[in-house]
Chain A
């Protein structure tokens, strides 16, 4: 398959509205998670990473009318705009727009405001973004639970391989809506404190909201350091729709497939960006799959302690941060990690380190039993 180069990117999150602010916050160990109260949904307070709407409107007003767009749309439009501003010669007629989201504008189901009913449809979300910038091609919407953002990158690579497109802007975005808070609360899956991936005292997820976007291309840019997506694979657990396989069989299979496609061995992976939601079962399952794949000594982190679980955005955000880790030769600590609390040994990063990374693995898993693995290669000089 063709190479897919990861070019300019943007993240709009509680950590900041630029990629630099996001990376600086992670470098300094600052989390976007804050204590939230929603007594109408749950009497227990919980942590979540929520974007300040007045700040968002203030920033968005520079590019559009704040009342014409939903919160999620504004987040996405700001992210895409940053990329287009850096690539003013990008030909939108031959650039695909791929949007990964689990629930899109789902908040409109409860509070539609002045928006028409069909605005909560994901197809409509695609149209709004495409029309704002003048994308010609029909937007491609990926909605595949919590692997969506990473699957968006795989979809871009696969469609590039078919020769249909040369480049794409891949977007991942989701909100912390009452809908998802109610849902995860009904599963008793929300942590009372900021989530603690892979730790012994972890007790559930923290939700987060964010929009991320990245320009990808089959053409190698004329810059000295570039990150290349050289492998992608997904595999279903075929086990349970709302919980992972206990042994992590789908995740293990996707890792084996991606290593094979990239033609490298697990020892060559210098860094692993895990899913690490901080539920008891997810993190345990990941440890099983990583151990079986020979990755128990590979430095790994979860970014959920910084962002919370941003659902359809998470695997794209984590891929983007991995890209910058590789370019800057730095490994970021896994926020809120205490004592290892999974049955197989893992090398969870405790402190930021300077480290050259040639190959990195990104994994994600989600409801419906889906699993995804991506391998990135650093091409320097």
Chain B
């Protein structure tokens, strides 16, 4: 059966660098999470004050989706299908610490992995299908079959899917926009190939 769907665009964020299918979008001298997030925010001229209230996972999701949706306009039905290993554990630990003194409601709200889907939906006005999966490793098979089902059943015209993980300050983001627009055929193999490719800046 011919593949009807394509990876229209993709983005990776890892080790202080952001790059997409065409180029290096941003690279920073240090890869430590908070300085990197701040520098990327400034570099992109995001001008979205809510960003500063978010936890690390949501900030990473906002940066990645911003770059994707600047180039490729989202519709209100663009679905979000994300996955990771650590769930919201980074913020869970911070909230747990806060309970020793004063349990913080503003931390508690980020102790769910799907909050980033809410943040992205608010920023880009998406009233779409959401799903957040947890898996030990990047599960291309699950992302491929679930995303394809949403597209084939016309529950979504396009899907932003991928991996958004943050633990112990280390971040690993790979999101791709899947649609009917011709580009890289959307398959389990291609998902794996792009995700697993060495995170080096493209040379061209």
Interface set of A (CB-CB < 8 Å, partner B): 1, 41, 102-104, 106, 109-110, 120-123, 126-127, 138, 140-145, 151, 155, 158-159, 161-162, 164, 178-179, 182-187, 233-242, 249-250, 253, 257, 261, 366-370
Nearest CB in chain B: distance from A283 CB, A: 20
Q: Provided the pairs A155-B131, A158-B150 are in contact, do residues A122 and B87 lie with their beta carbons within 8 angstroms?
A: yes
Assess whether B134 is in contact with A159, with CB atoms less than 8 Å apart. Answer: no
Residue pairs across A and B with CB atoms within 8 Å: the count is 161
- Among listed B23-31, B41-49, B103-111, B172-180, interface-contacting one: B103-111
Tell me the count of chain B residues lying within 8 A, CB to CB, of chain A.
50
Assess whether A144 is in contact with B130, with CB atoms less than 8 Å apart. Answer: yes
Nearest CB in chain A: distance from B140 CB, A: 11
In the assembled complex, which residues on chain B have CB atoms less than 8 Å from the CB atom of A127?
136
Q: Provided the pairs A144-B130, A234-B130 are in contact, do residues A164 and B121 lie with their beta carbons within 8 angstroms?
A: no
B4, CB-defined interface residue at 8 Å: no
Assess whether A368 is in contact with B112, with CB atoms less than 8 Å apart. Answer: yes
What are 24 residue pairs bridging A and B, where the CB atoms are less than 8 Å apart in the complex? A41-B103, A121-B85, A142-B131, A143-B113, A143-B114, A144-B113, A155-B146, A159-B149, A161-B149, A162-B146, A162-B149, A164-B141, A179-B96, A182-B103, A183-B95, A187-B108, A233-B129, A236-B126, A238-B118, A240-B118, A250-B127, A257-B155, A368-B114, A370-B114
Assess whether B133 is in contact with A367, with CB atoms less than 8 Å apart. Answer: no
A123 — nearest CB in chain B belongs to which residue? B136
Nearest CB in chain A: distance from B87 CB, A: 5
In angstroms, Cα B107 to Cα A241, docked, is: 12
Residues 55-104 (chain B) with a chain A CB within 8 angstroms: 76, 80, 85-87, 89, 92-93, 95-96, 99, 103-104
Assess whether A138 is in contact with B112, with CB atoms less than 8 Å apart. Answer: no
In the assembled complex, which residues on chain B have CB atoms less than 8 Å from the CB atom of A120?
89
The 3 closest A-B pairs by CB, nearest first: A368-B118, A183-B108, A141-B134
Given contacts A143-B112, A162-B148, 14 further A-B contacts (CB under 8 A): A1-B153, A122-B134, A123-B85, A142-B134, A143-B114, A143-B133, A155-B146, A158-B153, A162-B145, A236-B126, A236-B128, A250-B127, A366-B114, A370-B117
In angstroms, Cα B117 to Cα A75, docked, is: 29
In the assembled complex, which residues on chain A have CB atoms less than 8 Å from the CB atom of B126?
236, 238
B184, CB-defined interface residue at 8 Å: no
Interface set of B (CB-CB < 8 Å, partner A): 76, 80, 85-87, 89, 92-93, 95-96, 99, 103-105, 108-109, 111-119, 121-122, 125-136, 139, 141-142, 145-146, 148-150, 152-153, 155
In the assembled complex, which residues on chain B have CB atoms less than 8 Å from the CB atom of A102?
112
Interchain CB contact (< 8 A) of B115 among A158, A159, A250, A367: A367
In angstroms, Cα B127 to Cα A123, docked, is: 28
Q: Provided the pairs A158-B146, A240-B122 are in contact, do residues A109 and B105 lie with their beta carbons within 8 angstroms?
A: no
Nearest CB in chain A: distance from B14 CB, A: 20
In the assembled complex, which residues on chain A have CB atoms less than 8 Å from the CB atom of B155?
233, 257
Assess whether A368 is in contact with B96, with CB atoms less than 8 Å apart. Answer: no
Assess whether B145 is in contact with A159, with CB atoms less than 8 Å apart. Answer: yes
Interchain CB contact (< 8 A) of B103 among A144, A185, A233, A249: A185
Assess whether A234 is in contact with B129, with CB atoms less than 8 Å apart. Answer: yes
Assess whether A183 is in contact with B135, with CB atoms less than 8 Å apart. Answer: no
In angstroms, Cα B112 to Cα A110, docked, is: 17
In angstroms, Cα B86 to Cα A236, docked, is: 23
Q: Which one of A126, A144, A233, A241 has the highest number of Cβ atoms from chain B below 10 Å of its Cβ?
A: A241
In angstroms, Cα B132 to Cα A242, docked, is: 17
Assess whether B132 is in contact with A143, with CB atoms less than 8 Å apart. Answer: yes
B76 — nearest CB in chain A belongs to which residue? A238
Assess whether B109 is in contact with A242, with CB atoms less than 8 Å apart. Answer: yes
Nearest CB in chain B: distance from A127 CB, A: 7
B109 — nearest CB in chain A belongs to which residue? A242
Assess whether B108 is in contact with A106, with CB atoms less than 8 Å apart. Answer: no
In angstroms, Cα B115 to Cα A102, docked, is: 12
Q: Provided the pairs A162-B145, A237-B127, A239-B122 are in contact, do residues A145 and B114 lie with their beta carbons within 8 angstroms?
A: yes
Assess whether B92 is in contact with A109, with CB atoms less than 8 Å apart. Answer: yes
B112 — nearest CB in chain A belongs to which residue? A145
Q: Which one of B104, B113, B118, B141 has the highest number of Cβ atoms from chain A below 10 Å of its Cβ?
A: B118
Q: Which one of B76, B96, B103 has the highest number of Cβ atoms from chain A below 10 Å of its Cβ?
A: B103
Interchain CB contact (< 8 A) of B121 among A140, A141, A178, A238: A238
In the assembled complex, which residues on chain B have CB atoms less than 8 Å from the CB atom of A140?
133, 135, 142
Assess whether A249 is in contact with B127, with CB atoms less than 8 Å apart. Answer: yes
Q: Which one of A162, A184, A239, A257 has the highest number of Cβ atoms from chain B below 10 Å of its Cβ?
A: A162
A1 — nearest CB in chain B belongs to which residue? B153
In angstroms, Cα B114 to Cα A157, docked, is: 21
Assess whether A241 is in contact with B96, with CB atoms less than 8 Å apart. Answer: no
Assess whether A159 is in contact with B146, with CB atoms less than 8 Å apart. Answer: yes
Interchain CB contact (< 8 A) of A235 among B116, B127, B150: B127
Assess whether B92 is in contact with A236, with CB atoms less than 8 Å apart. Answer: no
Assess whether A236 is in contact with B87, with CB atoms less than 8 Å apart. Answer: no
In angstroms, Cα B155 to Cα A233, docked, is: 8
Nearest CB in chain A: distance from B1 CB, A: 11
Nearest CB in chain B: distance from A240 CB, A: 7
Assess whether A121 is in contact with B89, with CB atoms less than 8 Å apart. Answer: yes
